[in-house]
Amino acid sequence: TAAPSPDTASFLHCLAVHLPPQAVYTNASRLYPIALESSIKNLLFVTPATPKPIAIVAAGNASHVQAAVRCGVRHGISVRPRSGGHDYEGLSYRSLRAGRPFAVLDLAWLRAVSVDVGNETAWVGSGATLGELYYAIADHSARLGFPGGVGPTVGVGGHLSGGGFGLLLRKHGLAADHVIDAVIVDAKGRLLDRAAMGEDLFWAIRGGGGGSFGIVLSWKLRLVRVPPVVTVFTVHRPRSQSATALLTRWQQVAPAMPRDVILRVVLQNQDAQFESLYLGTCAGLVATMARSFPELGVKARDCIEMTWIQSVLYFAFYGTGKPMEQLLDRGTKPERYFKAKSDYVTEPMPSHVWESTWSWLLKDGAGLLILDPYGGRMGSVAPSATPFPHRRELYNLQYYGFWFENGTEAKEKHVGWIKGLHREMEPYVSKNPRGAYVNYRDLDLGVNDDDDHGLTSYGKARVWGEAYFKANFERLAAVKAKVDPQDFFRHEQSIPPLVSTL
Ligand code: FDA
């Protein structure tokens, strides 16, 4: 049966009947702007022209989520889940189509974390931030950790939905690799755990991108063991001091190092900042660097020994001595404009590319580049084991531009810089398709369109879908057809339903 045409008034009435008044904010509510902006991170999407939700449901429990989904299905209003609101394109709270009403299902209150130290597992609500998760784990045990992203305010829901990686990725792989159960509300409003949802859907939600398959309420995670002492360093190598040669070499060295160490690079201005986390003592890190990458010249005086949770704070806030409670700060309003793009590199780039990158970094509107090396555990997971296919790549390259001035001139300058550099890198990065990371959402890759039946067109979605998921895209679309054939959970880059291949 076809989906009903949108009926806003009936949808709002349905919410009013089935949910407590304090859980629903319509745009007539005084607190609507606060509820909307509470977890927005990108000022680009806080403008009067941005199409906004007709309602925000601040779910207090699973039945609120089920009721909102059922109201949405019945009255043709799509519901976008929002956990931490960090989507780079704001797809958890804005739409590109002004004429198509939608609601936001905000999960920020569903953020309980319960840690089982004996079994080395935790259940975490999607609305928790990574900082809250790391804090809770460290609060229970100094020997356990979790291999998720660096940004402490990132929401668990979106992060796990897209894969998620941070400084433990070479030892432990993606955050999504450690999900062992989950509870989801599907397009029929049912509450399903892993056994009830089946392995196809359970596969899809661990990396297939958020907002396509249902609303994941909570996740059971396998925690990882961390040693009592880890070591970090940050060393700067300016362009004028052989940074080009170091970068050229880094591409071969960093993905091949032992799994206990990660060495990422941030390029900004005319400086290469090499940042490392090692699961062991300073002596071990210095010896590892001396063996693998003597050219970098890392000395014991560059190292700082600490606990794993202190290293989380160190990389999140760049420095030592910060209180652990800082991980609990979710932030309340957007502070910057930003735009990002990503690439995967499969062959080391020649040194002249780095030379020209330095020139790009001198331009007006320049942002920064983040190079996250893979290898280690990443390389030993099959590309089809989860929807995230980029397991064999040397490193992820993120182009990140940010600015604080309002107006189109600033936007064009910074976005123009990112697009220009991204265009110039094309010959040197992965091809057929040129890969990208779904958690660094980028609508320049393509935006969904309807097919003749009013569903998301599979053919058009392949353009962006294969960049994020390569061969896994088809299976994702087949799972979508099975679990959400009416395409209720949809957004500008949601997985389209592909009928009849499973
Ligand atoms: P948000 O709530 O905006 O959701 C993102 C998408 O998932 C939307 O489509 C949304 O509808 C959907 N979704 C959200 N909750 C869902 C749920 N419960 N069930 C189903 N779908 C859901 N990444 C990384 O790998 N490593 C890193 O270190 C970082 N660091 C980082 C720092 C900062 C400052 C930002 C802004 C972003 C990152 N990221 C990152 C990227 C981050 O992983 C990505 O943006 C996540 O999708 C954000 O998840 P949120 O829940 O915050 O976003």
- Grouping H, G, I as helix, E, B as strand and the rest as coil, residue 469 is helix
**What backbone phi and psi angles, to 5 degrees, belong to 39?**
-125, 15
Instruction: From 36, 38, 92, give the residue whose CB has the most ligand 1 atoms within 8 Å, as the site to mutate.
Output: 92
Distance CA 389, CA 474 (A): 12
Q: In the predicted model, what is the mean pLDDT of residues 43-65?
A: 95
CA of 210 to the centre of ligand 1 (A): 8
Residue 342: count other Cβ atoms within 10 Å of its Cβ: 26
Predicted confidence at residue 98, as pLDDT, reads 81
Strands 144-145 and 78-82: unpaired
Distance CA 203, CA 220 (A): 14
Ligand 1 within 6 A of CB of 160: no
**Into which CATH architecture does domain 8-106 fall?**
2-Layer Sandwich (3.30)
Ligand 1 within 6 A of CB of 159: yes
Residue 171: count other Cβ atoms within 10 Å of its Cβ: 21
Q: In the predicted model, what is the mean pLDDT of residues 488-495?
A: 97
Q: How does DSSP classify residue 26?
A: E
Ligand 1 within 6 A of CB of 176: no
Ligand 1 within 6 A of CB of 497: no
pLDDT of 161 strictly over 60 = yes
Q: In the predicted model, what is the mean pLDDT of residues 226-240?
A: 98
Q: Whose CA is nearest to atom 49 of ligand 1?
A: 158
Q: Which of 137-146, 204-213, 319-328 has the lowest average pLDDT? A: 319-328
In terms of Cβ atoms closer than 10 Å to its own Cβ (0-12, 13-18, 19+), residue 83 is buried
Ligand 1 within 6 A of CB of 146: no
Which token pair is 369? 């580049």
Q: In the predicted model, what is the mean pLDDT of residues 155-171?
A: 98
The minimum-distance atom of ligand 1 relative to the CA of 493 is 9
Q: How far is CA 28 from CA 12, 32, 33, 35, in A?
A: 12, 7, 10, 12
Predicted confidence at residue 321, as pLDDT, reads 87
Predicted confidence at residue 320, as pLDDT, reads 84
CA of 258 to the centre of ligand 1 (A): 29
Ligand 1 within 6 A of CB of 155: yes
pLDDT of 501 strictly over 50 = no
Ligand 1 within 6 A of CB of 166: yes
Instruction: Please report, rounded to a whole number, the percentage of residues in the chain having pLDDT higher than 70.
Output: 99
Q: In the predicted model, what is the mean pLDDT of residues 201-206?
A: 98
Ligand 1 within 6 A of CB of 126: yes
Predicted confidence at residue 313, as pLDDT, reads 97
pLDDT of 347 strictly over 90 = yes
CA of 161 to the centre of ligand 1 (A): 8
Ligand 1 within 6 A of CB of 81: yes
At the topology level, CATH places domain 113-225 in: 3.30.465
Distance CA 128, CA 183 (A): 15
Ligand 1 within 6 A of CB of 439: yes
At the topology level, CATH places domain 230-306 in: Vanillyl-alcohol Oxidase; Chain A, domain 3 (3.40.462)
pLDDT of 500 strictly over 80 = no
| Confidence grade of residue 276 (pLDDT, cut at 50, 70, 90) | very high
CA of 91 to the centre of ligand 1 (A): 10
Ligand 1 within 6 A of CB of 169: no
For the full predicted model, state whether its pTM sits above 0.90.
yes
Query: What does pLDDT average to over the chain?
Result: 96
Distance CA 390, CA 470 (A): 9
Instruction: Please report, rounded to a whole number, the percentage of residues in the chain having pLDDT higher than 90.
Output: 93
pLDDT tens string 86-112: 999 999 999 998 889 999 999 999 999
Q: How does DSSP classify residue 280?
A: S
Predicted confidence at residue 1, as pLDDT, reads 56
The full set of domain ranges for the chain reads 8-106, 113-225, 230-306
Three-point CA angle 497, 55, 57, nearest 5°: 85
The minimum-distance atom of ligand 1 relative to the CA of 129 is 52
Asked if 336 and 404 touch (Cβ cutoff 8 Å), the reply is: yes
| Confidence grade of residue 5 (pLDDT, cut at 50, 70, 90) | confident
In terms of Cβ atoms closer than 10 Å to its own Cβ (0-12, 13-18, 19+), residue 292 is middle
| Confidence grade of residue 2 (pLDDT, cut at 50, 70, 90) | low
CA of 351 to the centre of ligand 1 (A): 34
Q: How far is CA 141 from CA 134, 146, 211, 226, 349, in A?
A: 11, 12, 33, 10, 42
The minimum-distance atom of ligand 1 relative to the CA of 42 is 36
Ligand 1 within 6 A of CB of 148: no
Ligand 1 within 6 A of CB of 80: yes
Predicted confidence at residue 502, as pLDDT, reads 45
Q: Whose CA is nearest to atom 31 of ligand 1?
A: 151
Rounded (to 5) percent helix, strand, coil in the chain: 35, 20, 40
